[in-house]
Structure 1
Amino acid sequence: MKSQWECFLQNLGVWEGSFTNFSPQGNFLKDTPSVLSLEHLNNNQTVRLTLTRSGRDVIREFSSVGGGLLFFENGSFSEGLIQLGAFSEFGGELAFVRENRRLRLVQLFDKNGQLNEVILIREHLAGTPTAERPPLQIDDLLGEWQGEAVTIYPDWRSPDTYSTTLKLQLDNTGRLVQSTSFAERTITSSATVKGSIVLFDQDPEKLIQVLLLPDGASATSPLKVQVRQPLFLEAGWLIQPNLRQRMIRSYNDKGEWVSLTLVTESRV
């Protein structure tokens, strides 16, 4: 099993792309070209991150990883707050790494807990093809998906691996019906579909929204985060028509970050 540092090193390179900002309703706000360099120094003991965006450089240096940051063995990762607090800003980043591409998603909430902004970051290694997937449509997701999930933990206990099944279909009224099975549990829910917004509205107190975004991406989150309620942030990436990954950052009812899950699934 790779160490967290070795997993981090899967991200080394110069990544060219852009930061695309969307409103909570999925409306395009702006697109900012970016170049992000991750280079190793001191015989791989240090990694320097240099982000150039809007003519400005942000530089960070890492000699270890931890806190609110966790990596999977393929280099995919998530970074965010480890604790949800009352009347404080909240958010997290979920990032996929695959071959010469990275797709990162940032979800930000204001001090009142309301979803405030979604940022989609699409990157490719410098000098490699920039091919992207088309914008995600609900029809791209319909059917049955079978996969494997890996859950890792902030306390670095041993990962859990288990099979998953996701079934998505439209009923006679046009509502989306979702059935998720994992670790011998099955959860069924339904949602309204309106353009690029899928809203799970069965519980008005816990509205969950999915935004369908460019490059086969999706952003799933509560419309409002609240203390004393468990919550999760999720990103999805349709890599190929029948291959998808999802990443879920989960918090318990005390607002504590408890786990990070990466699901790799294929349509059957």
Structure 2
Amino acid sequence: MVSQWENFLQNLGEWHGSFTQLSPRGEVLQDTPSIISLEGLNDNKTVRLKLRRFSPNPSGVGEPEVSELVREYQGLGRDILFFENGAFSQGTIQLAPYSQCGAEFGFIYNYRRLRFVQLYNIDGNLSKLTLIREKQLDKNVPERPPLTVEDLLGEWEGEAVTIYPDYRHPDSYSTNLQLHLDGADHLVNKITFGSNGTVISSSARIDGSVLHFNESDSPVQVVLLPDGGSCTLPVKADFRKPIFFEVGWLVEPDLRFRMIRSYNDRGEWVSLTLVTERKVSH
């Protein structure tokens, strides 16, 4: 199995993009241009991260203000896991009452990266959403259009890989996702996965770019984002129940990635799953 460090190295390069603050409905509140470079040193035994963000000058004129962060890594923390294609998630290891929690997700495809950060406050309410869209300048690969419900409709067949914080052997299994409309304002979701063919069905009310899944006692909403992105947000982070955070990225009309960070009913981070799925019918 490829090492976590080698997976991390898939992210090397200089990435130009922006940090976009979003409302809970996915509306853009603020956009801050950024450049992040990940440089391998000492035969890639060390990685230097340099992040520059360019905020507007408070006076409204002149050069933007530049904030800079520089870090060097020779190993990885217990709060982060990488897949072989460079996709990753970093976040809270142990959820607990009266403490902040959250997670970052990152994908790489065709010289672009999409990263997403979701944070919850000490009351378990959503406090901050940040979408980070990045590209390698010399490749000039265009951004994807904003995700729509129509993009998702149809049947998707996928392969899932689940990795674990204790580095035990990964699990792999097939998935099948079917999405169709029930009337004009409801989306029906049926997913089949695992060796025993577990089936989960649910329905969402479509509210513009937000899908409200309110049928369970742990309601979630899916927010459709720019650049083909989506995020699944628990309406309330209740640490006494199993909980998950999920981010998706539609990179081609018929190719989508989803990543799920899962916690058990004791608030312990237990797994990270990457699903690579292709649309097989509309």
Do Structure 1 and Structure 2 share a fold, with TM-score over 0.5? Answer: yes
Corresponding residue for residue 63 of structure 1 = 74
Whole-Å Cα distance in 2 between the matches of residues 121 and 218 of structure 1?
12
Contact (CA 8 Å) 1:23, 1:116: kept in 2 or not? Answer: no
Corresponding residue for residue 36 of structure 1 = 36
The answer to whether residue 187 in structure 2 is matched with residue 187 in structure 1 is no
Counterpart residue identity of residue 79, structure 2? G
Whole-Å Cα distance in 2 between the matches of residues 206 and 227 of structure 1?
11
TM-score (norm 1): 0.97
The answer to whether residue 170 in structure 2 is matched with residue 159 in structure 1 is yes
Shift of 1:45: 1.2
Shift of 1:173: 5.7
> Which region of structure 1 is more displaced relative to structure 2, 169-178 or 99-108?
169-178
The answer to whether residue 213 in structure 2 is matched with residue 221 in structure 1 is no
Shift of 1:125: 1.4
The answer to whether residue 249 in structure 2 is matched with residue 237 in structure 1 is yes
Aligned CA-pair RMSD? 1.0
SS at match of 2:236: coil
Counterpart residue identity of residue 48, structure 1? R
Whole-Å Cα distance in 2 between the matches of residues 23 and 90 of structure 1?
18
Corresponding residue for residue 202 of structure 1 = 215
| Structure 2: runs of 5+ lacking an equivalent | 55-65
Residue by residue over 1:217-240, the C-alpha shift from the partner in whole angstroms, topping out at 9 and shown as x without a partner, is 001020110121111110001101
Shift of 1:118: 1.3
Shift of 1:174: 2.8
Corresponding residue for residue 136 of structure 2 = 125
Larger Rg: 2
Corresponding residue for residue 6 of structure 2 = 6
SS at match of 1:122: strand
Shift of 1:180: 0.7
Counterpart residue identity of residue 152, structure 1? I
Whole-Å Cα distance in 1 between the matches of residues 255 and 82 of structure 2?
21
Whole-Å Cα distance in 2 between the matches of residues 17 and 173 of structure 1?
36
Contact (CA 8 Å) 1:108, 1:116: kept in 2 or not? Answer: yes
Shift of 1:64: 0.8
Counterpart residue identity of residue 122, structure 1? R
Residue by residue over 1:172-212, the C-alpha shift from the partner in whole angstroms, topping out at 9 and shown as x without a partner, is 36311100110010000111001000010113x41101000
The answer to whether residue 158 in structure 2 is matched with residue 147 in structure 1 is yes
The answer to whether residue 275 in structure 2 is matched with residue 263 in structure 1 is yes
Shift of 1:130: 3.9
Whole-Å Cα distance in 2 between the matches of residues 151 and 227 of structure 1?
22
Whole-Å Cα distance in 1 between the matches of residues 210 and 2 of structure 2?
38
Shift of 1:44: 1.3
Shift of 1:25: 2.2
Whole-Å Cα distance in 2 between the matches of residues 46 and 7 of structure 1?
14
Whole-Å Cα distance in 2 between the matches of residues 243 and 93 of structure 1?
22
Whole-Å Cα distance in 2 between the matches of residues 89 and 243 of structure 1?
34
SS at match of 1:127: helix
Q: Percent identity?
A: 56
Whole-Å Cα distance in 2 between the matches of residues 66 and 26 of structure 1?
30
Whole-Å Cα distance in 2 between the matches of residues 56 and 174 of structure 1?
44
